[in-house]
Amino acid sequence: MAQTTGERYRVAPVHRRSREWPFPLNLYQTAVGRKWVMALTGIGLIGFVLAHMVGNLHVYEGPARMHEYAESLRTIGGGLVPKSAVLWLLRLGLLSMFVLHLHSAISLSRMSRASSEDAGLVSGAKRYAGGREHVAATYASRTMRWTGPIIALFILYHLADLTWGWWLGDDFVAGDPYHNVSTSLSALPVAILYIVANVALAFHIFHGAWSMFQSLGINNPRYNHLRRGLATLLAGLILVGNLSFPILTQAGLIDEDNRTCPIGEVEGNTCLAEEAEGHQG
């Protein structure tokens, strides 16, 4: 069968255009849309990290108060919903934000690298005649590529350590977070791991809080000092709060020397609940 010249030499495009999603999901197929998703999920994740740190400060009030705080999270919604139902919904929402944040960050990095290569750039920055690459980003922004993976791995370890109890093994007591924190962070290697991970988290939060306004299109040189101040404040508060747990545990300020309740999932938790009620009274 005869072919025309155009058909004979027709070639497939180098970059196939992906199928467009329906509105408003198609906004996520654009760089601007993904920047918005990364910024909004970043705000949500920073809010969670801050609230998580503040809640964990109950550890300084002793085992009963820490047990009471943990139990209050499981009973959100009162008797209207099953126990821990709202907590699991919040966890699923948090997981969704984390996945979207991670995917948007990775895909934006790939898009930026591809556009840089197409524009004849080197490593995303113009190479000048002197051979030096112009670096406009701060040190914190340049470390995002390794602080992100460190945080992701640390989250998995943190869950396995204090939520699922895999690393603590027989020493893990469900419903007794004070005991679990004290036991885990009393090990020096674990304390060092928590310190390193939280320093990486602080760098990540600093750059994230600094750049999220730019991603949302809220960027004015006159207010850059306010953005930097907010980023420094958030990262600093979270860093100091989170570092206090491993450091003060190693210093002996978080221990079980003055514990009045036995350690155990049934008898111990019942005693802690009664002690917490006594404090309320």
Which amino acid type is present at position 242?
N
pLDDT value of residue 94: 94
Residue 11 pLDDT greater than 50, yes or no: no
Give the pLDDT mean for 254-277: 86
d(CA 28, CA 35): 9
What was the pLDDT predicted at 155?
94
- pLDDT bracket for residue 239 (50, 70, 90): very high
Q: Which is higher by pLDDT, 236 or 116? A: 236
For residues 39 and 214, what is the distance between their CA atoms, to the nearest angstrom?
9
pLDDT tens digits, residue range 206-231? 988 888 877 777 777 787 788 888 89
pLDDT of residue 159: 93
What distances in angstroms separate CA 25 from CA 1, 46, 55, 76, 102, one per listed residue? 44, 24, 35, 32, 17
Q: Which residues contact 51 (CB under 8 A, 6 or more apart)?
A: none
pLDDT at position 228, please? 85
Instruction: Give all domains of the chain, ordered by start, each with its CATH number.
Output: 29-280 (1.20.1300)
Reported as type and span, the H/E element at residue 267 is helix 267-280
**pLDDT score at 223:** 77
Question: Looking at residue 266, what is its pLDDT?
Answer: 83
pLDDT number for residue 137: 46
**pLDDT tens-digit series, residues 71-125:** 999 999 888 888 889 999 999 999 999 999 999 988 887 876 776 555 554 444 4
**Res. 135 pLDDT band, cuts 50 70 90:** very low
**For 51-60, 134-143, 228-237, 267-276, which range has the lowest pLDDT when averaged over its residues?**
134-143
Q: Average pLDDT for residues 4-27, to the nearest whole number? A: 62
The amino acid at residue 62 is G
Look at residue 32 in the predicted model and tell me its pLDDT. 87
Residue 12: pLDDT over 90: no
Residue 279 banded pLDDT, cuts 50, 70, 90: low
Which band of pLDDT confidence, cut at 50, 70 and 90, is reported for residue 128? very low
Instruction: Indicate the Cα dihedral angle 117, 118, 124, 129, nearest 10°.
Output: 90
One-letter amino acid at 100 equals L
62-73: b (≥16 Cβ within 10 Å) or e = bbbbbbbbbbee
Residue for token pair 């938790």? 269
pLDDT of residue 126: 45
